[in-house]
Amino acid sequence: MPKKDDTNFFEQVYAIVEQVPKGRVTTYGAIAKSLGSGLSARMVGWAMNTCHGDPRIPAQRVVNRNGQLSGKAHFGTPTRMQELLEKDGVAVKNDTVQDFAKRFWDPAIELAL
């Protein structure tokens, strides 16, 4: 479980996720790597689990390294994450982003971190 001193890291994660454009997705690991914590993908996941309900953070745009909707259980219904992604213009089949390589948005490159 995250500790109180993780708040700053979480805010950094949210600042990146807010910038993921519609129609694109990123990964927990790519966010962690862009923040200089390549081994902290799990902590990025914790951050994402605590932000649901905050309309400024498009949490649906963060998937696992294989493009799978590994965080879908935190969206209220089993299909809500997919519905939000499809609304963004991202095709999903069998809980996996289609054309994942084409849709992938790397914050380290896109934000020149």
CA distances from 44 to 16, 28, 87, 101, 102 (A): 11, 6, 24, 21, 22
Number of domains in the chain: 1
What per-residue confidence (pLDDT) applies to 2?
47
Assign residue 16 the CATH number of its domain: 1.10.10.10
Residue by residue, pLDDT tens for the chain (113 residues) are 444 455 689 999 999 999 999 999 999 999 999 998 777 999 999 999 988 778 899 999 999 999 999 999 999 899 999 999 999 999 999 999 999 999 999 999 998 75
pTM of the model: 0.90
What per-residue confidence (pLDDT) applies to 53?
75
Structural domain containing residue 106: 4-110
What per-residue confidence (pLDDT) applies to 4?
46
